[in-house]
Amino acid sequence: MPLPESQPTRQEANSATGGVTVQAETPGPPVFGKETQRHRRNSGVAVARFQTRIGRFNFRRQRDSNRKMPLTDKFGRPITDLRISVTDRCNFRCVYCRSADPENHMPGHELLAWEELERLARILIAEGIRKVRVTGGEPLVREGVEDFIAALKNMGASDLAITTNGHLLADRLDKLLAAGLNRINISLDSLDQTKFEEITRTKSFGKVMAGIDAAQSTRLKPIKVNAVLVRGINDNEVESFAEFARDRDLIMRFIEYMPLDADRHWSRELVVTAAEIKKRIEARWPLIPIAHERSETARKYRFADGPGEIGLVAPVSQPFCGACSRIRITADGKLRTCLFSKEDHDLKSLLRNGATDEQIAEDIRAAVYEKEKGHRINEPDFHPPSRTMVFIGG
Ligand code: SAM
Ligand code: SF4
């Protein structure tokens, strides 16, 4: 059942794109994948016909539950990636994500039990989800996450990843690997300890670096390290992060700051664009584009003269919604079809009120079919969702 979100109270609508140059969708290096042009050019009669066909196709698909075709939305985008937030709690308070003030966490009974999360995951994997990323909040603060990952593996998730702030990682790595984890993203927003402490409002720099080193010495290598650059805070570290990628032979990903922070401090002037980052890195080290799937969020580059990779994730300046393959389940059991959705789809009520798997799957199909065309950050009437990142799951 769709639940409308309340309107934000603290952020004014943006009337222009400010200093940020917004590019057409999905620019960048060559692509792999079998998707066709029609997914990118959703306009006019052809699209209307295509949507009708997809509608009929979905109807037929619902009648034949034995066929495992991927979920598809009305724009023809196959939905194969699921992000599951297992908690809204976090041991960090990153300035671009959470508030410094104590926040009300959701009460425990609002959060899905592991069994409930597993049931949803099983239904979604049967519906064609292949990639699953476990996130939060901070997923490692919830006890039992390794068992959950093992359960996901047993269900047939072929690509299993986690996003973590790294604080608890070194101690938990063996269990995560044993559970079948395939990939890891570790957040690190500064290479300068003092700056790191200011951004995360913790003293965890050493622990996070230890987590990165530990993960990089396992089969998870090359790991991905995520940094969100905020103008005036850590944008002076572009080159240092690139050097970090080169020195450690890892994938350094720069994620554009999005209007999902609890303090509602986001503004276009604070966004450090992918184009600026690329230009600055290329001024020192030539970059070579790496082919990518259209649905991937990052445009990827390797260094011409050595190890290491760069990933540029540009939801603000180069939106990639046209090839989006992602949906999300929040820790309190809401299905979100876009980070910026104005509607939550309440799966928890279905779970707790006796719905069958098929009824839940039907609700999911209907919600996915109506997935938003795009996030609209660059539209004049854009309002951020009332749920901030920590309550959604990045
Ligand atoms: N706690 C884990 C972590 O930080 O890696 C996982 C959850 S966190 C919400 C997932 C990702 O979202 C992190 O890479 C984080 O940097 C990113 N993130 C959080 N707030 C953001 C924002 N306002 N704009 C862009 N990325 C953001
Ligand atoms: Fe916590 Fe991750 Fe948000 Fe930082 S970005 S406050 S680590 S959830």
Q: What is the pLDDT along the chain (394 residues), one digit of tens a residue?
A: 444 443 222 232 333 344 455 554 333 332 333 222 222 223 333 333 334 444 444 444 443 444 467 899 999 999 999 999 999 999 999 999 999 877 668 899 999 999 999 999 999 999 999 999 999 999 999 999 999 999 999 999 989 999 999 999 999 999 999 999 999 999 999 999 999 999 999 999 999 999 999 999 999 999 999 999 999 999 999 999 999 999 999 999 999 999 999 999 999 999 999 999 999 999 999 999 999 888 899 999 999 999 999 999 999 999 889 999 999 999 999 999 999 999 999 999 999 999 999 999 999 999 999 999 999 898 888 999 999 999 999 8
What is the residue with the minimal CA distance to atom 8 of ligand 2? 137
The full length of the chain comes to 394
List ligand 2's pocket residues with C-beta within 6 A. Answer: 90, 92-94, 97-98, 136-138, 165, 187, 389-390
Considering only CA atoms, which of 216, 211, 150 is closest in space to residue 179? 150
Q: Say which ligand is closest to the CA of 258.
A: 1
* Residue reference for tokens 């699921």: 82
SS3 231: coil
Evaluate: CB of 112 within 6 angstroms of ligand 1. no
- Quote the CA–CA distance of 46 and 200 in Å, as a whole number: 48
Token pair of 254, please?
């720069």
**Residue 318: alpha-carbon gap to chain centroid:** 16
Evaluate: CB of 165 within 6 angstroms of ligand 1. yes
Question: How many angstroms is it from 95 CA to the middle of ligand 2?
Answer: 9
Say if residues 273 and 267 touch (Cβ distance below 8 Å).
no
Evaluate: CB of 241 within 6 angstroms of ligand 1. no
Does the N-terminal peptide bond of residue 286 adopt cis geometry, omega within 30 degrees of 0? Answer: no
Q: Say which ligand is closest to the CA of 186.
A: 1
SS3 350: helix
Evaluate: CB of 255 within 6 angstroms of ligand 1. yes
Evaluate: CB of 163 within 6 angstroms of ligand 1. yes
Say if residues 132 and 123 touch (Cβ distance below 8 Å).
no
